[in-house]
Each structure stands twice: as structure tokens, then as C-alpha cells.
Amino acid sequence: MMYVTRREYFNAAHKVYNPEWSDAKNAEVFGGCANPNWHGHNYVLFVTVKGEISKETGFVIDLKKLSQIIKKEIIEKVDHKNFNLDVPFLKEVLPSTENVTVAFWKILEKPVLDMGCKLHSIKLQETENNYVEYFGE
Ligand code: NI
């Protein structure tokens, strides 16, 4: 089994807050991420797939095609957008890095399978120091 990773970039705005809490509690828990007038991050997305090496190509997956799928299904929908307002698949989702990563998994799982591989992990880096990684469970 071989693991292959594609990296992509996007910028997006969000506000992480729980509407059931007071402004003070949101500020205490989420800090700057609860700023009422939004803020942005330069996200780095790592999509790792796993599969066997093809005898014909020597590839596990055609990374050009994987990149096209990530761009079409994810990047075009979130880049320069506001997670809270502009992205249909994040409606009703508290847009923490964790929840956004789970939403990306749900979108990419099937297209990756259709390319003959399995989605292994999605890593989403929100800042230089913080990232989350999801393995589908
Ligand atoms: Ni934030």
C-alpha cells in the first residue's frame, strides 16, 4: 500500500462562535476567531490517498487529476469566501478547522474512490502552528 499526498492552498474568512452563548463566553472560548466582523486564514490543505502502484503507470493516482478534483469540489467553493455565509456545504456548521475538515472528507471520499483509490487522511492547516488531521473516523 502506498500513500500519496496533494497539497492545495486557499484563503477564507470565518467567525467561530456558538450562537447559544453570550458574546463574552464566545470571546473567552474562541478568542480572536469569534471576532464579530470576521477574520481570515491562509489555509493549507493536504489530501492523502492510498492504493496500489499501477504496473502500467507506476502511479497510485494521477496527481493532476486529484488536484483537479480537489480544486473543483473544494477550492473553487471556499477560496476567497466566507465559510459562514458563502459556502452551502458549511451552512449550519460551526466552522472550526475540525468541522471544515470533516465536511471536506464527506465531499472527497466518493470522487477519490471513483479514481480507484481510498481517501486516507485530510489535513487542514489553519495557521503555521495549528492543523488538524482526519482519517474518516
Ligand atoms: Ni479563525
Catalytic residue status for 80: yes
Q: Please identify which of the residues 126, 128, 133, 137 carries the catalytic annotation.
A: 126
Residue 54 in any domain: the answer is yes
The reply to whether 73 falls in a domain is yes
Is this prediction's pTM over 0.85? yes
Q: What is the pLDDT of residue 39?
A: 95
Q: Tell how far the Cα of 88 is from the centroid of ligand 1, in angstroms.
A: 19
Whether 27 maps to a domain, the answer reads no
Q: pLDDT by residue (tens digit) across 14-50?
A: 999 999 999 999 999 999 899 989 999 999 999 999 9
**What domain count does the chain have?**
1
Is the residue at 30 inside a domain? Answer: no
* 33 domain-assigned: no
What CATH number does residue 75 fall under?
A: 3.30.479.10
33 catalytically annotated: yes
Domain-embedded: residue 22: no
pLDDT of 32:
87
Residue 91 belongs to what domain range? 2-11+41-134
Residue 55: inside a domain, yes or no?
yes
Of the residues 28, 39, 52, 80, only one is catalytic, namely 80
Give the confidence band of 118 by pLDDT, cuts at 50, 70, 90. Answer: very high
Tell how far the Cα of 137 is from the centroid of ligand 1, in angstroms.
24
User: Would you say residue 120 lies in a domain?
Assistant: yes
- In terms of Cα–Cα distance, which of 49, 106, 41, 33 is closest to 74? 106
